[in-house]
Structure formats: C-alpha cells, structure tokens
Amino acid sequence: MHRDGKGSTPVTKREDSRIRDRILRDLINAMLAENLFGLKEKGRIFHEPLPEWGDFREGEAGYRISLFPEKNLCFPVVLSSVRGQLELSRLPVVFEGEGGSRHPGPVEVFQLLLESEEPVPNGDGFIEELRTAQKHATLALEAWDRFREEPSRPESLRWTERLASMRDRPFHPTARAKVGWEEEEYRNYSPEFGNSFGIDWVAVQRNFVRIGGEGDRMDVLLGEQRVMEAMREKGLSRKEWVPVPVHPWQSRRMISSLFEREFQEGILVPLLKNTGCYQATSSLRTLAPWRRKGIHLKLALGIGSLSALRILPSRYLENGSKAQAAMEALLRKDPVPGTSVHLCDERDWCVFRRPGEDPFGDRPGHLAAQIRRYPESVTADPGIRPVPMSALAVEEGIDCLGLSDGRLEEMLERFRSVCEPFVEMALQFASHGVMPEVHGQNVLLLFRNGSPEGIVLRDHDTLRIHPPWMEAAGVKPPRYTVKPGTPNNLILSSPEALLAYFQTLGVQVNLGAIADAWSRKWGIGEEQFFRQIRASVEAVLEQQPIRHREVFRRVLLREDRWPFKKILAPLLQRKGTGGGSMPSGTGYISNPLSGSAERERMGG
C-alpha cells in the first residue's frame, strides 16, 4: 500500500490497478474507434495467446501493433456485437521489446505510440492530462468508498448528483482530470467528496456587467442577506453596482490576476469571503445551496475539464435564454404526449464586460454566474425522486437508488422503462427541429414509486436547431450569437446533422453508458440493451404522432453507418485553451440499432 499525497487514505495495489485499467480501456477503445496513429493499418490479428492472457475466450484474438523494429504493443480484442469494431476485451496490455515484455499503463502506452509518429500540437498536454486523470481517479475511488458507507438518500437531488459524479463523462480517458486542482482542492470542491463550502462575492459597476433576467439580484434569489449589508457598509448602491458570486477557487486563483486592472480602477470591489453553504453538483461548476431548495448556482471556473475551460462566456448565457424560450414555445404548442417534460429556468445571469474588449475572448467568461431554477411542480412534490440519468451509469448506482430487486430478468424491463420516455422526448423535440442537451448529466428522470414519470431538462445553451423544421412547426428559430471563425454546431443544415446529437450524446454516451454499467454488473450482453433501445425507438415512431417519422426510421434504424464523437484526434490537434468548448469531431461506426454489427459478428 502507498499514500497518494499528503492527507490521503491508503490506496491498495488492487485499487491502483482498477483505476489504471479503466483509463487504459477507455484510451485504447477510443484510439481504435478513431484509428488514431493509423492503428488499423499498423495492427495485425494473431491467434496464439500470450502467456499473460491464458487461453483466448470465445470470439477473442490478439492484436499486435508494430512500433519500432522488434518493439510491439499487444492486447486481446473482440469484435463488438454493438458497434461492429474491434475493442479491447481485457487486460493486460503487453509491450514486447528487446529486454523482454512488460505491462505498460495508460501514460506509457500513449507515449510509445506518440514516439512512433510525427509530433502533434497537444501531445505533451494530453500526456499530462492522462497523469492528472490517474491521480484524480484515485481520489474519486476514495470518495466512492466513503459514499457507499453513508446512508442512501435517493429522494435528495443533492445526493443523486453526487452519485452521478462517480462516473463522470463515460468512455473518455481523461474525464477525471480537473486540470488546475491540487489534491486538497479536489477534495474540497469536487462533487465526489460532497463537501460544503462558502462562496465569495464582488461588486461590479453596473455598466461593466451584462445582465439576463434577474441576474443583478442573485444575492436576493439565494437568500444571501450579508451581501446587501456589505454593499451598504462600502457605500455601494444597487442602482450603480451589481453583486456577483464567485467560486472560492476562482476568486483565489484567477480573479485577482485576470482583473487586477479593474480592482485598481475601482470597477470591481471585493465584498465578502466564504459566505453561505454550497455543495458541487455533478457538473462541477454548478453548486447546490443548502438554504434554497429548487435553485442551483452556476459559476465560472477556470480549470480544465474534458479538455475545456469551465468558464461562462456571455454568448453561452445569452444563447441559453434564447434556446429556453424556443423550447417553451414548442412545449406550449405541442406537448410531448406520453411524457411530462419540464424545463429549468436559466434566464437569470450576469457576466463581466468591458467596453471595447473582445466579447469572444476568455477573460469575460471568468467572471460570470447563472441561477438555475427547477420547476416548483417537481421540487414541491415529496413523492418525486429526481435522478440525473448519469447516476444510472454507475455500476452500483441502481442499487444505491433502490431501483433493483436483484432479479436479472427484471433489468431489461427496467432499462426499457428508462429508454422509452427519454427516446420519446428527444424524438418529439427533433421532429420540431430542435435537439436539447441529451447526455446523462443534463437529463433528469423523475421517479415515482420506482418508475419514471417525467423528465427535467437543463443546460439549454447548446440546444441544436434545424431551422426549416422549426419554421414548419410554427416556431421562430432563435438568433444565436456565434463566435466568428469557429464551427457553427448549433444551427444545423440537415435533419441528419440534428439527429447525430441524439445518436452520439443520447444513445452512445447516455443510454450506452447505462447499458455498459448494467451489462458489467449483471453479466447481460450489451447487445440485449441495445435491442431495447431499438424497440423503444420503434414503439415511439409507431405509437406517437411524430413528424418526419420516415426520416427517423431511415437514419436511426436502416442506415448502415452511425456517427460517433471523436475526442482524441481533435484534442491532440488543439492549440490554446479551447475556450469553453470540449474538442470533438465526427467519425462513423456500424449502426448499433440496425443489427448489422451483430449479424457481422455472427457471420450473417
């Protein structure tokens, strides 16, 4: 056993291996899917197992990648019955060299592959992110062990948010990395540990702030009476000044240096330190106040997570308000018939602006905040249990939530009960030309007596739209603000591009992560869960009044290929901070809902 830094609890070699193995599995599968470094061309299948692996299991083979003369990387693979591509089946990975063989971890595997290629702009940065991911995954495992010892509170959104954080972004090898946080900061501010902390406040001259809704009254909305008292003590009137909440890490590490000029000029005035009591939710920068039920506070956070800064640029906040209005108009005009869909209210926000400064630069987004209000009809009902879908992707999550009676035959039915309302919601919105944020962190299922009866959507700033279908539905498309010179991934020119976000984030990342977790926990083949997803799509298209249903049948059920999100190649080519957007691209795999991958695996 060893200690991973000052003050940490002992970490066993078995736990070290468990952490390393999870990251290595995600890394290799992502590299194979993206054909990173030309692995498909460099790799060769072989059928004599290495001694470390024992006998091959049914459907397994070895995969050998030639790096340098007499140096290879080898690992066992299987053809996925869902995605129709080679994937790592188990560990260890074996490095064959002149001095014998060894079992490299994620960092060394990537370094070996990188050394055999031409340099890439962000190669060193990604290696450092892998190292950080391993360190922070060790802390997350410690937090998980503590969490399991605590009483379950599935009726509490604060508790289910913490459960959801135990998985983080599925299938991403560096998801755990919070670049900029040391161990103590990870313990203090991460949702996994569930610690409470106070926030800081600064006053900003009103003509240096952009405001949405009641964004100039956040102290009132949060019940922070001391803020107004501090303003009066400093002689600051609300007419001329706006109080802005700041994350304590952001206040200490970023604000004082980024806004040094404004503090010197008296444009910014410090108000309070360590006020209130807040706890991080699964989205990291969004906090749940203990004093106010049904409200979350989203704060700018200048750390790197998922290879993007967690800041709040003004265009994100503004676009979110416009997107919310569009979704509200659609729901008034044509409610989702089989599922009760609710929207969080995210129109109250504030963000720093300096006249003449580039509004698309990173700096303004470092001093920004947003209030998220949950529907009162949800928060006031004691029989409702709000659960982020990502909480269901934690292997033991369904047990923690009290949603399983332990019978294997019940699990596919339970999965279907989760799929169908989610699929109906997404396709109803898509049929009107919009696609909400559908990954598991931002879709809440509302359970009553163990069954989902509704959905809450949040984080509206990335609502994708296909204007021709919106106009045909009688709803005016929002006029988004888009940063010049960047790809416009909000306004989409084709139905296929719109549905791609359901296919990638909704099916692969959200439902796919739940299928992956439940498959591992109960030993049920992953393909059985994807049959339930297909059955849910078919049922919604047959039973509900969906516009453009033939387009959906073609794209989702009949096409041979299916889009997936590339995460490694765009990240390795990234230059600069990347702003608030996670680097990604699009590749293609076999359609997991058409059955073609399974037929190929069976030789059909």
DSSP secondary structure of 90-148: S---EEEETTEEE---HHHHHHHHHHTS---TTHHHHHHHHHHHHHHHHHHHHHHHHHH
DSSP structural state of residue 175: T
Confidence class for position 472, pLDDT limits 50, 70, 90: very high
Please say if the pLDDT value at position 142 is more than 50.
yes
Average pLDDT over every residue of 56-68:
95
293-307: average pLDDT? 94
User: Is 272 inside a domain boundary?
Assistant: yes
Q: According to the model, what pLDDT value does residue 99 have?
A: 83
Domain end among 56, 86, 115? 115
CATH number, domain with residue 108: 3.30.310
| Pair 390, 279 in one domain | no
* Separation of alpha carbons 35 and 97, rounded Å: 23
- pLDDT value of residue 341: 97
pLDDT digits (tens, 9 = 90+) for 217-227: 999 999 999 99
Chosen domain end from 98, 115, 132: 115
Confidence band for 15, pLDDT divided at 50, 70 and 90: low
**Is residue 413, in this structure, part of any structural domain at all?**
yes
Q: Does residue 415 lie in a domain region? A: yes
Residues 337 and 417 in one domain: no
Mean pLDDT taken over the chain? 93
pLDDT at residue number 164: 97
Per-residue pLDDT at 487? 78
Structure confidence at residue 19 (pLDDT) = 87
* Residue 398 confidence class, pLDDT cut points 50, 70, 90: confident
Report whether 16 contacts 138 (CB < 8 A): yes
Q: Given this model, what pLDDT does residue 14 score?
A: 60
Predicted confidence at residue 6, as pLDDT, reads 39
Residue 19 lies in a domain: yes
Do 215 and 339 lie in a common domain?
yes
pLDDT above 80: residue 144: yes
DSSP conformational letter for 566: E
pLDDT at residue 12, as a whole number = 59
**Under 8 Å between Cβ of 299 and 311:** no
Say yes or no to pLDDT of 91 above 90.
yes
Tokens for 180, please give them.
């900029």
Residue 117 predicted with pLDDT over 90: no
- Considering only residues 603 and 381, tell me which one the structure prediction assigns the higher pLDDT: 381
- Give me the number of domains the chain comprises: 3
- Range(s) of the domain holding residue 425: 382-558
Please indicate, yes or no, if residue 88 is contained in any of the structural domains: yes
State how far the alpha carbon of 335 is from the alpha carbons of 109, 425, 432, 545, 599, in Å. Answer: 50, 10, 11, 11, 38
Same domain, 376 and 388: no
Q: Contact 435/496 with Cβ under 8 angstroms?
A: no
Instruction: Give residue 602's pLDDT band: very low, low, confident or very high (50, 70, 90).
Output: very low
CA dihedral over 301, 303, 305, 308, signed as positive or negative? positive
CA distance 26 to 21: 9
**Structure-token pair, residue 541:** 């298209």
* 336/400 same-domain check: no
Q: Are 507 and 522 part of one and the same domain?
A: yes
Q: What percent of the chain has pLDDT over 90?
A: 84
Got the DSSP string for 392-457?
GGSTTHHHHTT---S-HHHHHHHHHHHHHHHHHHHHHHHHTTEE---SGGGEEEEEETTEEEEEEE
Which of the four pLDDT bands, split at 50, 70 and 90, describes residue 599? very low
Are 373 and 389 members of one domain? no
Same domain? 83 vs 232: no
Q: Provide the pLDDT for residue 577.
A: 60
Most confident by average pLDDT, 7-16, 338-347, 580-589: 338-347
Section 103-112 average pLDDT: 96
Does any domain span residue 128? no
The tens digit of pLDDT for each residue in 145-173 reads 999 999 999 999 999 999 999 998 999 99
- 304, two tokens: 């790197």
Do 370 and 404 reside in the same domain of the chain? no
Other C-beta atoms closer than 10 Å to the C-beta of 278 total 25
Task: Tell me the one-letter amino acid at 352.
Answer: F
Where is the domain boundary, 115, 148, 176? 115
One domain for residues 352 and 388: no
Tokens of 282: 């699964």
How many helices, marked H, and strands, marked E, lie in the chain? 22, 27
Half-sphere exposure of 132 (CA within 13 A, CB side): 22
Q: How many alpha carbons fall within 13 Å on the CB side of residue 145? A: 12
**Res 483: pLDDT:** 87
Cβ proximity of 363 and 258 under 8 Å: yes
Per residue in 264-296, pLDDT (tens digit) is 999 999 999 999 999 999 999 999 999 899 999
Q: Is the same domain home to 346 and 363?
A: yes
pLDDT band at 600 (very low <50, low <70, confident <90, very high): very low
What CATH number is attached to the domain comprising 469? 1.10.510.40
Q: Is the residue at 166 inside a domain? A: no
Q: Is residue 345 part of a domain?
A: yes
Residues 185-216 have pLDDT tens digits of 999 999 999 999 999 999 999 999 999 999 99
Residues 332 and 361 in one domain: yes
> Is the pLDDT at 90 greater than 80, yes or no?
yes
Cis preceding-peptide flag for 92 (omega within 30 of 0): yes
